[in-house]
Structure 1
Amino acid sequence: MAERSAHTGPDDPRSPGPCCTSTTAGAAGAATVSDMAAVIATAFARLPHVPGASGTPGAPAAPQPAEITRAAQVLLPAILALDRLANRLAHDTVRGIGGAAGPGLAGYIHRRCRIAPADAEASDARGHDRSADDAGAGLRRAARGGWELIYSTTRVPDAGPAWARGALVAHDLARRTTPSPLGADGPAPSASPTPTRELTLAAVDLRAWARATGDHNLIHLHPGAALRAGMQAGEGDVVAQGLLLGAISLSLVPAVGAVNLRFTGAVPLPADGSITLHVDAAGAVSVGARTVLVRR
């Protein structure tokens, strides 16, 4: 989703955010990591679309399997926290809270994801000076500029090998609540002029990621759902999952310490087609002249 001002859209970096709820990886975490890594590897296996695949000396190569697995391990607590948030939103829908348009994450756009060590202050994950032990609910709602905003922070004690001390995950989501022109997602920042990697992402990868992670948001799977959610997409398009873009970025540019992903634009592609992504040296992902993911 494109970045918006506090007056015209959902982004508001001044929000203090909620306190934390807790979840754990458990035995299913390793299987989830394996499934996530398989999806990422499939995208990178389209070697004709990766510079240097033909053996050009000095050209960047696709990431190694260990690098892909590490990226999946880094994102695992974010997947677990997003699943917990989807369950919470579905429960609230049944109770008539929040005016949600559908179950779980249906209609919501991912704006930001931050992952920090669990013993760090919440400011490491959210960008605000709040202690992770503050009292409060694990989910906060707000309304701004015709959008419903969701701020959630989740503590994942057993977050897998990438987060030995556990992880603190913050997710920011938004859903349009007032009528708007279809496809009114707004402009995205210009892309870096020197991308260092190129690969093709296919709609089949989106469906495989949904199976691997449990993120079955309709905007990623059903043609036209993103358009009706107010995003820049066609009637026959689906949009890529933000965390899938994050996994691609982290596979090529590994994170050191906390992870901060900001999703600045939608990545629409035909439900039976594909799109070319570029990843620069800082891990930013772009489509053509549009930056769709920024790493902080």
Structure 2
Amino acid sequence: MDTDELVIETHGLRRRYGSRGKDGFEAVRGLDLAVRRGELFALLGTNGAGKTSTVELLEGLDRPTDGTVRVLGHDPYRERNRVRPRIGVMLQEGGFPSELTVQETARMWSGCTSDPMPLGEALEFVGLTRREKVRVKQLSGGERRRLDLALAVLGRPEVLFLDEPTTGMDAEARHATQRLVGHLRERGTTVLLTTHYLEEAEQLADRLAIMHAGRIVTSGTTDEVTRERPSRIRCTLPPGVERWRLPASLGAGGEGSTVEIRTENLQHTLTELLDWARAQNVPLAQLDARTASLEEAFLDIAGSVNGREPLTVGEAH
């Protein structure tokens, strides 16, 4: 397997809704993206970032307003017949007929799939074998998402698009699905994942990109994305000890008795803080020191790009 082969590639990708005047809206604004074969790539975004609009273009569900997109070397919209049999798609909502059973739904989908795997194998893969006689309307939200995944992998796809695959699942089901996605990657399937669970992206993704206002703001491995962000130290001072007593070199902030310090050199700054506390005989409660997390990097981007107020993690349209 040529792991350097690009199986998803976009250049200057744009998607506009409505007219080019003031009534129109450009959801994707000149996107450049590259995903290698066998890679699990997570596409993250703030509210309205454009990640779902981007994925729809990659899946061939619509044509771009401008720019180019290639999946497995082909235009997924214009050459749909050459791309669709080789990809799997898990949408945010499956929309299955509620009166059909799990087995009937899988059989119906299998009839529309090129070279499908055995139904039993697909249902066993997602843990729905014992639920195959149950009607779709009787499934829990998490079970419906697992049925979505079973149908997405039924055709043994080379490239799998997963749009918010664990939404609606409880913690146990979410972890089980994450393990399944990891198994797919180990089999060599290229996976492009959108999620608003940042820990999910942190655990699963080989690389990731964070979108904001239709553009990719940063991309790389989790370490590369977080490396440029400062580390954080937090602690609580005891009654009677004011924050101004801390060394000015620490640049301590916070509210009340809570202290927060941002630093580019965690070890040096933490040592300075602890040396001061020992010399002053000041106990530091709830001491917490850590390098930047993906969540912190995400929220920092959400709050700083274009001088906007911080946004919450969530769905992009």
Give the TM-score normalised by the residue count of structure 2: 0.22
Task: State which structure, 1 or 2, has the greater radius of gyration over its C-alpha atoms.
Answer: 2
Q: Which has the higher helix share?
A: 2
Give the TM-score normalised by the residue count of structure 1: 0.23
